[in-house]
Amino acid sequence: MPRVIHLIIAFAILCYSATSSAGTTYMDDRSGSLHVSIGITLNAFPELRVVPGYPVYYAPRLNANYFFYDGMYWVYRDDTWYSSAWYDGPWWATSHEDVPLYILRIPVRYYRRPPEYFHGWKADAPPRWGHHWGRDWENRRSGWDKWNRNSAPAPAQLPTYQRNYSGDRYPRQVDRQRVLQQHDYRYAPRDSIVRKLYQRLYIEPATQEAPARKGTSEHGRQGFHEDRGSQRQDIQRSTPASPQQEPRKAQEPGQRTQPGPSQLQHQYQQRQRHEQHQQHGQRQRHEQQQQHGQPQKPTSQRKTADDRDPEQRGQGKDRGHGPDHSRH
């Protein structure tokens, strides 16, 4: 019975170790990338120191194999390398083929939590990755441990702006991290492997989301213009057009054209001139009758210009009056 109990306890410990080492994998809703919880939780920006002679930082106070190189953080845990642009993740698992050379060259002594298979390896030399990962990997990454120490690049500037984001203020969304980094860090990876990795994890998801947002905005603007166009058409149909805006209809044969404003004004002026001529003629006749002592006839019995005798018509012409405009 005690043996069975020990077996159950051992099995539980083994399951817990396997679960904690594998970590929890989850999907980011915005970028669609798989993130991994590696069991490391940092509530504040860690202390980082430069590895002498290397363009790499390490975290001396963390119980983890925690490094910073070329603008990204690197953690080695359970035979897997994880990378992130922010000090507390989210983390992405990186294949052995995509690990930068200077990360592979970090001496064993700077691994604060070295695995058991590091035992017996030289502290001032890099881990024996070819021996651990096999000959195929060694052939694909041949020469990874041979380099000129005098030509090593300078360490990248630390993203110290991330110190302002700790605890509940830490941004967990990748798009939010990308915006803050592009605004406050101003550093672009120089290593070709790191640059491709950063492009795949942070830049490409943003460019894939941009066309979708653009399509949505274009559709919204198109719908807006269509609505405005339909509203204008409705207004034009419901509002009566002014006389100046009404289109001219084609004149049918035999149909009289309605006079325009200029024609109406001209006709009105002609009528006024005609009435003035008539009034002037009446005054002349009244004066002549008074001179000859003839009584004035009622207005209703007065003769028109055409009923007058030829002598009076001649006098009217001699006095400079024009022809009767009413005939025109």
Print the SS3 string covering 249-273: CCCCCCCCCCCCHHHHHHHHHHHHH
- Residue 286 located in a structural domain: no
- Residue 277 located in a structural domain: no
Peptide bond into 90 cis (omega under 30): yes
Q: Write down the residue that tokens 């106070």 correspond to.
A: 61
320: Cα separation from own chain's centroid? 83
- Residue 125 located in a structural domain: yes
- Mean pLDDT, residues 157-170: 96
Q: Write down the residue that tokens 């058409």 correspond to.
A: 233
pLDDT digits (tens, 9 = 90+) for 217-257: 555 555 545 545 544 554 455 444 444 444 444 444 444 55
Phi, psi of 154 (to 5 degrees): -75, 150
Q: Specify whether the CB–CB gap between 26 and 34 falls below 8 A.
A: yes
pLDDT at residue 210, as a whole number: 56
Q: Write down the residue that tokens 């809703």 correspond to.
A: 29
- Residue 314 located in a structural domain: no
pLDDT digits (tens, 9 = 90+) for 129-146: 999 999 999 999 999 999
Q: What is d(CA 164, CA 170) in angstroms, rounded to the nearest whole number?
A: 9
Q: What is the helix, strand, coil percentage profile of the chain, to 5?
A: 50, 10, 40
Q: What is d(CA 225, CA 318) in angstroms, rounded to the nearest whole number?
A: 74
Q: What is d(CA 269, CA 264) in angstroms, rounded to the nearest whole number?
A: 9
> 53 or 23: whose pLDDT is higher?
53
pLDDT over threshold 80, residue 53: yes
Q: Write down the residue that tokens 């995509």 correspond to.
A: 98
Three-class SS state of 204: helix
pLDDT over threshold 80, residue 7: no
pLDDT at residue 119, as a whole number: 94
Which amino acid appears at position 133 of this protein?
A: W
pLDDT over threshold 80, residue 66: yes
- Residue 107 located in a structural domain: yes
- Mean pLDDT, residues 98-116: 97
pLDDT at residue 284, as a whole number: 76
Question: Encoding tokens for residue 10?
Answer: 């051992």
Q: Specify whether the CB–CB gap between 95 and 46 falls below 8 A.
A: no
Q: Write down the residue that tokens 């035992």 correspond to.
A: 119
pLDDT digits (tens, 9 = 90+) for 78-106: 999 999 999 999 999 999 999 999 999 99
Residues 6+ apart with CB under 8 A from 93: 34, 36, 80, 81, 82
pLDDT at residue 23, as a whole number: 45
pLDDT at residue 35, as a whole number: 54
- Residue 276 located in a structural domain: no
Question: Would you place residue 40 in the very low, low, confident or very high pLDDT band (cuts 50, 70, 90)?
Answer: confident
- Residue 119 located in a structural domain: yes
- Mean pLDDT, residues 103-123: 97
- Mean pLDDT, residues 53-68: 97
pLDDT over threshold 90, residue 47: yes
Sheet strands (E) in the chain: 24-27, 34-37, 49-50, 57-58, 65-69, 72-77, 80-84, 92-94
Q: What pTM was estimated for this model as a whole?
A: 0.58
pLDDT at residue 20, as a whole number: 36
pLDDT at residue 209, as a whole number: 60
pLDDT at residue 72, as a whole number: 97
pLDDT over threshold 50, residue 319: no
- Mean pLDDT, residues 278-283: 76
Count of domains in the chain? Answer: 1
Three-class SS state of 153: coil
Q: What is d(CA 302, CA 278) in angstroms, rounded to the nearest whole number?
A: 12
Mean pLDDT of the chain: 74
Phi, psi of 226 (to 5 degrees): -65, -40
- Mean pLDDT, residues 273-302: 66
Which amino acid appears at position 159 of this protein?
A: P
DSSP single-letter state for residue 311: H
pLDDT at residue 214, as a whole number: 54
Parent domain of 135? 25-211
pLDDT over threshold 50, residue 165: yes
Q: Which of 47, 38, 49 is nearest to 84 (CA)?
A: 38
pLDDT over threshold 90, residue 285: no
Q: Which of 254, 45, 258 is nearest to 162 (CA)?
A: 45
Give me the percent of the chain exceeding a pLDDT of 90.
46
- Residue 248 located in a structural domain: no
- Mean pLDDT, residues 167-186: 93
